[in-house]
Amino acid sequence: MSQAKKALTFTTRPGHSVSGDIIVPGDKSVSHRSIMFGSLANGTTHIKGFLPGQDCLATMNCFKAMGIEIEGPDSDHNVTVHGKGLHGLSQPKEQLDIGNSGTSIRLLSGILAGQQFSSSMAGDVSLNKRPMARVVEPLQLMAANISAREDGTPPVVCQGLAENQKLKAIDYILPMASAQVKSCVILAGMYAEGVTSVIEPGITRDHTERMLTAFGYPVTVEKNIDGDEQKTRISIEGGHELTACDIQIPGDISSATFFMVAGLIAKSGQLTIRNVGMNPTRIGAINILKAMQGDLTIINERMAGGEPVADIVVKASQLQGIDISERDVPLAIDEFPAIFIAAACANGTTRLRGAEELRVKESDRIQAMADGLVELGIECTVFDDGIDITGGEIGSGTIHSHDDHRIAMSFAISSLRATGSITILDCDNVATSFPNFVSLANEVGLSITQA
């Protein structure tokens, strides 16, 4: 499935100034959940600001394949989902094609575990190498008949529950700070008898909890478990219902980070990024870039659709290397490739630890970034759970993105400080999260050609 040969190459020329006033596309995590919860709700959900990236379209196609009528996205990024309730999905005729999206396969595992029909999910080469035992194990504890391959990779295959059979509620301590695993167990909890609770060891994005609440499904969140402010317990009782609602999706802070870093490392200029989601569980990149003495100003803070949003003004800055706080790791988990480029342009050394999760994303993001940085002449030392990067002059060279959208976009941004051209291979997957990245980047002053 999804195995077509990919060959889009970016070629960059050095840039200088970055300036403009831009809007980044809708948040990927929130877009996925809007389709999932809209499908499981009673009634019609209207979504504004949906991300038309391939990952979210994969989620949408899965629900269409399970009998949900979904209209859009139209050219204004509106989507309408005609939900059929928690028990309204029907058996897909074929294996569900999840493409490149870890969020889709892991959250869907929790939903499919509670259905009375059998199903199977797999994706592209990258997804089919990613660990699924982290969702299969808790779901098996809930008495779901679900499995992955022996090495824990997809396909994820789920046998339906018997008529009148419910999942078993569990208390589960997450082995890693993962919003995908947390969300999977919570979603399965809607199909369980009793109260399921999950304790997360570090604060992770809470879009599932917020959006379930918006759809009228009760969720209890207790912070500061065992006196540890990093530990949160999330509990959900089976048997309630979701009621359709209107969803306004904020701009994706993960996409905005490429432009924050671009604006900071540029030799001059000022950039405003509008309507960026500022959920406190997502702002690690802002914390880190500010700690590096990046000139970021947050203005027009407001609430939109149950999520805080703001505009960010970015000015070219001389960044300083720092030791990144481990608390910011889950809050910035997808932003590290871009942050590594900021580190390569900073004075001194930036050190990251406690980030072993980066090794199991669309690529091994520690190694893929280190290889690319070394190719461009930047000194780095790799550790199992992190990296040290010493700022220096960025040269020219050829980078392998490993089919990872965030690696491709990060090195495209590094061109602003490069002494020569950078060629970035296998960039098709930029369309999974940020379909208009190249046009927006060129609009603010970068020079990227794609062929």
Ligand X SMILES: O=C(O)C1=C[C@@H](OP(=O)(O)O)[C@@H](O)[C@H](O)C1
- The contact mask relative to ligand PEP for 38-77 (x = CB under 6 A, - = no) is -----------------x----------------------
Using the contact rule CB under 6 A, the part of the chain among 79-87, 179-187, 210-218, 278-286 near ligand X is: 179-187
SS3 41: coil
Burial group, residue 152, by CB count within 10 angstroms (0-12, 13-18, 19+): middle
The nearer residue to ligand PEP, 210 or 406, going by C-beta atoms, is 406
For 29, how many CA atoms within 13 A lie in the half-sphere containing its CB?
23
- The contact mask relative to ligand PEP for 311-350 (x = CB under 6 A, - = no) is -----------------------x----------------
205 binds, among ligand PEP, ligand X, none (CB under 5 to 8 A by kind): ligand X
Q: Which of 258, 433, 441, 448 binds ligand PEP (CB under 6 A)?
A: 433
Beta-bridge partners for 196: 236
Helical segments of 93-234, H only? 102-112, 133-141, 179-189, 207-214
Total site size for ligand X, rule CB under 6 A: 10
As measured in angstroms, the least distance from the Cβ of 93 to ligand X is: 27
* Residue 33 is labelled as binding a ligand: yes
* Residue 274 is labelled as binding a ligand: no
Q: How far apart are CA 163 and CA 86, in angstroms?
A: 15
Q: Tell me the C-alpha to C-alpha distance, in Å, between residue 225 and each of 173, 197, 231.
A: 12, 12, 5
- What number of other Cβ atoms are within 10 A of residue 291's Cβ? 16
As measured in angstroms, the least distance from the Cβ of 2 to ligand PEP is: 13
By CB under 6 A, residue 183 contacts ligand X = yes
Structure-block tokens of residue 340: 């590594």
Q: Is 403 left (phi over 0), alpha (psi -120 to 50) or beta?
A: left
E strands present in 49-125: 69-71, 79-84, 96-97, 119-122
Cα–chain center distance at 439: 21
By CB under 6 A, residue 361 contacts ligand PEP = yes
Helical segments of 215-306, H only? 253-265, 284-291
> Per the residue annotation, which of 55, 97, 124, 334 is the catalytic one?
334
SS3 86: coil
352 binds, among ligand X, ligand PEP, none (CB under 5 to 8 A by kind): none
Using the contact rule CB under 6 A, the part of the chain among 173-181, 257-265, 317-325, 389-397 near ligand X is: 173-181
Question: Strand 232-237's sheet: what is its strand order?
Answer: 171-173, 195-200, 232-237, 219-222
By CB under 6 A, residue 205 contacts ligand X = yes
Near ligand X in 89-148, by CB under 6 A = 103
By CB under 6 A, residue 282 contacts ligand PEP = no
By CB under 6 A, residue 426 contacts ligand PEP = no
Helix (H) or strand (E) holding 235: strand 232-237
Using the contact rule CB under 6 A, the part of the chain among 172-180, 285-293, 345-353, 376-384 near ligand X is: 172-180
By CB under 6 A, residue 205 contacts ligand PEP = no
Q: How far apart are CA 41 and CA 84, in angstroms?
A: 6
By CB under 6 A, residue 208 contacts ligand PEP = no
* Residue 180 is labelled as binding a ligand: yes
Question: Strand 20-23's sheet: what is its strand order?
Answer: 20-23, 270-277, 307-315, 295-304
As measured in angstroms, the least distance from the Cβ of 97 to ligand PEP is: 14
By CB under 6 A, residue 326 contacts ligand X = no
Picking from 69, 104, 305, 107, the residue whose alpha carbon sits closest to that of residue 190 is: 107
Catalytic: 334? yes
Total site size for ligand PEP, rule CB under 6 A: 9
As measured in angstroms, the least distance from the Cβ of 210 to ligand PEP is: 18
As measured in angstroms, the least distance from the Cβ of 406 to ligand PEP is: 5
Residues 6+ apart with CB under 8 A from 297: 312, 313
By CB under 6 A, residue 356 contacts ligand X = no
362 binds, among ligand X, ligand PEP, none (CB under 5 to 8 A by kind): ligand PEP
Picking from 264, 441, 405, the residue whose alpha carbon sits closest to that of residue 449 is: 441
By CB under 6 A, residue 134 contacts ligand PEP = no
By CB under 6 A, residue 282 contacts ligand X = no
Q: How far apart are CA 307 and CA 211, in angstroms?
A: 9
For 83, how many CA atoms within 13 A lie in the half-sphere containing its CB?
24
By CB under 6 A, residue 180 contacts ligand X = yes
Q: Which of 124, 334, 364, 428 binds ligand X (CB under 6 A)?
A: 334
Near ligand PEP in 382-421, by CB under 6 A = 406
As measured in angstroms, the least distance from the Cβ of 267 to ligand X is: 31
Binding site for ligand PEP (CB under 6 A): 55, 101-103, 334, 361-362, 406, 433
Task: Just list the catalytic residues.
Answer: 334
Residue ranges for the known binding site for 3-phosphoshikimate are: 28-29, 33, 178, 180, 334, 361
